[in-house]
Amino acid sequence: MGDLVPGGNQAMPVGVLVIRVRGPFDVSVLITGHGGKVAGDEDFVFFNQPVAPGARLDGDTVMVDPRRLRAGASRVTVVVSPAEPGTPMGRLPVQVMSVIGSDVTLVARLIPPRPTQETVLLLAEIYRRGTEWKLRALGQGYADGLAGVARDFGVDVADDGSSGGADGGFVGLVNAERSRSGVPALALDARLVAAARAHAGVMAAQGQLGAEGPDGTSLFHRVAASGYAYLTIAEHIVSGPRTEAEFVEYCLSEERNRLPLYEAAFTHAGIGQATSGPSGDVYWTALWARPFTAAGLAETASEVVSLTNAERAAAGLAPLMTDARLTAAAQAHSADMVARDFYSHTTPEGREPWDRAAAAGATHRGIGENIACGQRTPAEVVRGWMNSPGHRANILKPEFTHIGIGYATGSRAGTYWTQLFGR
C-alpha cells in the first residue's frame, strides 16, 4: 500500500470503509449521483447532520458502506475543513487521510499537497466503476469555505457566516453592517432557518409571494411549529435576488427594508431560499427575532401602559393603574387567540370580555376591551388603536381607572394584543 497522489486511484474492498483525518479538522462527505449533485440536503453529512443511508460521521471518522447508500448514489466525496471556521488550511497540520477496510487493515492513505489560503479541501472521492468501488485522490482546495462547496454540490445552504465564505455568508454580511452601526451581532437560529426554508419552498412551489400558503398556514405558524418562541419578530418576503449578497443589498436599499438589520433588540435570524421550477425565480424568506422571556413580556406590557397613559395625559385625563386581575384576563385572551387561531372579542364558546374579567376575579363595575393583531411594537399598536374611533374612545374614556395588557405571539398574524379596561 503506497500513498496516493492527486489523480491516483485504487480499488476498494467490499464492506464498510473507515475514513479518518486526525487533527484540528471537521470531516464531511457529500453523496451524489452521476450528475455530480446531491438529491437533497440529507446527502450532506457533516457535524450538524451526521447520518445518512450508508454514511455515518463520528468525530474525525466517517464510516461509508457503499452497499447501503441511497438508490442512485454513485459517488461519495470526502471534504475536510478547519475546526475553527475560516482558518486557512495552510496554517494547520498536514491533512492525512487514512482509509481502513472492514478487516481493520489500512487500504489507502492520502497526503495532499500543502494548501495555502484555501479554507476547505476535497480530499478524495469513492466512486462506482461498473460493479466495484474505487477511491480517487483529489486534493482540490476551495477558498469560499464549506458552505461554498456544499452549494456547488447542490445543497440548499443557509450560511451562518461561520464557513469562511468569500462574502461571509448571510449573517456575516448582516453583522458587518450592524458592526458599522455599533449594533451587537446576531446569530443564525436553526429553528428560524427551518421555518424560513419551509416558507420559501411553499412560495416557490406556488410561484408567488405571500405570508400564507394555499392551506392557510402562515409564516408565523411555521415559526411556532419550529419551536421558537419570540417576543418580537420581523420578516422579509422577497423574490428576485440570486445570492445572499444580493438579498442583503436589497434589504439595505430602502429605509423600511433595512430597519430589521439594524434593530438591536433582534438577536436571532433565519434565512431560506428556494427556486421556482417553471420560472427559475428565487424566493427568499428572512426572519429577525428577539426570543420570548417573561421579563421581555413585562417590559412590553409596561410600555403599552405608558403609551396609553401618555395619550390620556395629552387629553387631560388621569392615568390608568395596572390591575393584576385585568392583566391576567387580558393575557389569557391573547394567548387563547393564538392557541385556537381566532381573532375576536368573543371566544368560540361565546365568552365576552366582562366574562373573562369576572372569571379572573376582577370586581370592576364597567369593562372595556381593545384587541389588535399583526402590530410589531407597543408604539405601533397604540398608534393603531388611537387611529380607530372605537378603540380611541376606550383609551380616552374618563370613567376607566384601571388597565391590564395581554400580548402573545404566533398563529396567523404573528402578534396578538389585548387591552382590558375597568372602572
What pairs with residue 291 in β-bridges?
A: 230
Distance CA 98, CA 93 (A): 15
E-assigned strand segments in 300-343:
321-322
Nearest-angstrom CA–CA distance, 423 and 419: 14
- Helix then strand count (H, E) for the chain reads 11, 21
Q: Where are the beta strands (DSSP E) in 186-311?
A: 187-188, 230-239, 268-275, 282-291
CA distance between the termini of the chain: 89
Q: What residue ranges of the chain have pLDDT lower than 50?
A: 159-168
pLDDT of res. 315: 97
pLDDT of residue 87: 78
pLDDT at 276: 87
Residue 197, classified by CB atoms within 10 Å of its CB into exposed (0-12), middle (13-18) or buried (19+), is: buried
In the prediction, which pLDDT does 150 show?
A: 82
pTM > 0.75: yes or no: no
Give the whole-angstrom CA distance, residue 358 versus residue 243. Answer: 55
Helix/strand/coil (H/E/C) assignment for every residue in 224-256 = HHHCCCEEEEEEEEEECCCCHHHHHHHHCCCHH
Residues facing residue 165 across a β-bridge: none
Contact assessment for residue 369 and residue 346, using Cβ atoms and an 8 Å cutoff: no
